[in-house]
Structure 1
Amino acid sequence: MMQISKNKISEKVSFKEFLSLKMTYPGDDSKKRRKILLWMLLGAFLFLFLPWTQNIRSQGFVTALRPDQRPQTVHTIIAGRIEKWYVAEGDFVHKGDTVLLVSEIKDDYFDPQLLERTQMQVDAKTMSAFSYSEKVKAIEIQIEAMRQNNILRVEQATNRLRMAELQVISDSIRFEQAKVNFKIGEEQLKRAEKLFQEGLRSLTDFEQRELRFQEVQAGMIAAENSLLQSINARIAAQIELNAIDNDFRDRMAKARADMFESMSAQFDTEATVTKLENQYSNYEMRTGFRYILAPQDGYITQAVQVGIGETIKEGSEIISIMPANAQLAVEMFVAPVDYPLMRVGSKVRFIFDGWPAIVFSGWPQITNGTFGGVIHAIDNFASPNGKYRILVVEDPEDEKWPEALRIGSGADGIALLNDVPLWYEIWRQLNGFPADYYTAREKADNKKK
């Protein structure tokens, strides 16, 4: 047994008859099992070094990328009564197509000729404003005529005053001359009286000299009287000149007051016209609001208000429209711990509801039935559910999303992160560590730095 001797007993004795001894010898099957176990251990060891793509799973749903391409409800702007439906659920409508007709329920708009009568009011007030403007123009012409007339009157009164002043000067000179004549006549009378007393002149000459003196005295009084009359005429001319100026100011003030009053009435009328025009535009717009129009191309999905004759309030929901040709996107939510790992342009794989798939989350290369996406936008604030919203669009470099995909469908998203060895991923999962934040390229750059 211990093979101390080189003589082998197995060559001389057959052990086939001893079953218990035979069972102690190793056979071919045990060798195969050992080899298989060794190869399995070696394969498991090598398997640990296979690349594994880190990922984040998140549930989401299909939506539209643009807000105006998402399902919307059409509201009524005015309160009214449903009169007629022009569409049915499931119909395709173009932008501007009539969906519903409502009638007025407020007594302020019952008049069937409301627009015509309002237009008549606008025209009447417009003519009134035009009349006031013409009156203002007429008063302006009148004021200009008064100004020109006043210039002539002032010039005429100035000439009269100048004539009166010259007359005063002339009469004053004449009066001075009369005083000189009076003084000379008085001297001549004294000399004539002296010569008469001395007998050198006759009584007749003395009396003639006395008569001439009386005439000179009368001439002086007449000259003084003329001077006083000229002074009075000059004062009257000055008063007339001042009166013309005061009368012009008074008439001008009255005319300007009338003009400003007319302008005020014109502005009030124009303000009324503007108000009426605004009211007319409101009535015209309100008439158009009786027809509920489709805001964009799309499909009628649901009618909220249905009954003919049903009364609706302002802002009430009427129908829902699903826009056509919407650019689809997936709205998914990630936990705050995974939010720093999300970046615009990162790849995401989706499993859409209704499309079967075989998923190996760590090996996207062998995954079948998933569709590619690219992160388009990331919210910078948390949603009410405590997670961050991410919008993912179709990956132009990957297979196109199914044409039958509709908004609202569920989507299971797999955000692809770094490629790491499988043993590292197992170690990370066992220790509860988050996925790597830095990419392989950033790690290499950091090592170089």
Structure 2
Amino acid sequence: MSQEDPKDPRDPNRDRPADAPKKKRGFWGWLAGGAEDPGPAAPADPAAVPGDTPAPGDAAAPEPPPAEAAPAVMEVPAEIAVAPEAEPPAELPPAPEAPVPEVPAPEVPAPAAAEPAPAPVAKGFWSRLASGLARTASSLGQGITDLVTKRKLDAETLEDLEDILIRADLGTETAARIVAAVAKGRHDKMIEPSEVKGLIAAEVEAILAPVARPLVVDAAARPFVVLMVGVNGSGKTTTIGKLASQWVGEGRKVVLAAGDTFRAAAIEQLKVWGARTGATVIAREQGADAAGVAHDALNEARAAGADILMVDTAGRLQNRAELMAELEKVVRVIRKLEPTAPHAVLLVLDATVGQNALSQVEAFTRIAGVTGLVMTKLDGTARGGILVAIAARHKLPVHLIGVGEAAEDLQPFTAAEFARAIAGLER
């Protein structure tokens, strides 16, 4: 029985004679069966493989059917090949944490800092004085400019000039003195406003120079007793605090007596100044006898070896007889303990009251024996000229002037600076 020779149906040479040249496989054949047929195999060498040669007479053993070639697998480029998912092991030990190297942050240049604004320059006392008297100087200066510009210095102009000076609270005596100085040698002549201002400054300085005297503490009098007097709201307690700050800063031992027993706020205010400056405060309850507070304070200041004792008093109007009598009692009690005391009686005047300050000086001088003046609130008034009128009439020393709330805003009085500030001139 002949054995059918199986052939690959996809083989293009299955129906061709054995000696015919073989066809090459096309694309489909290549894809399904691999590369092209390499041609007939060389006959086997009987000597090479013993026992493989069939015996004579035996029919040739049929060749085994060729194994079906495995379909070729198209190569996929590595960049798009996907590896088969490997099944993860049941449990993986935790991987040791590798130290993460510190990578320095890249240096980012800091943005250019904005140039700081210049710190405000603290005004000197002259600047604060000029600023405080600016309203007085403006009122006076504008009136003079309007008056003498394009006008001769005749009798009518001089009379108008005198009125301007009186309205600036310089007083009638001072106004007449200034007008006489302006008129001298200039009658019926043109004059510049700046020249008039210069003449005003010169005359004001001449009036103020004799009374511009500093407050001197007599070291031989221990304690040196200073009695502060004045009307309500003039700034007595604040002035005491400022003086205490300056004197403690100089190394002096200071005691403060809270003699304004009418107002609880005044007692507390003095305690605050004492804590701020390091001065000792002697105080009693509200309503206590003011003379008794002064008596106790003087004894305690002596015992403590204090250099200065400042006695605050209640503000009182000069036309209240009963209140002025109480002030007189305080002075008597102090003099019983120390005949030479009080060594200084300072009247604190509020510059904003204008002409009323003249009557205050008269009344307090008569009752308490005022020895010197302190002018406050010159930083907010158009009536600073009243100090000139007071100096011209009463000739009392002007020790200090205040142009603000800070301790350094209370300074010794200087006639030349004040006169130039009043006239609106530069220093």
Q: TM-score, normalised by structure 2?
A: 0.17
**Larger RCO, structures 1/2 (Cα 8 Å, 6+ apart):** 1
Higher fraction of helix: 1
Task: Please state which structure has a larger fraction of its residues in strand.
Answer: 1
Which is higher, the Rg of structure 1 or of structure 2?
1
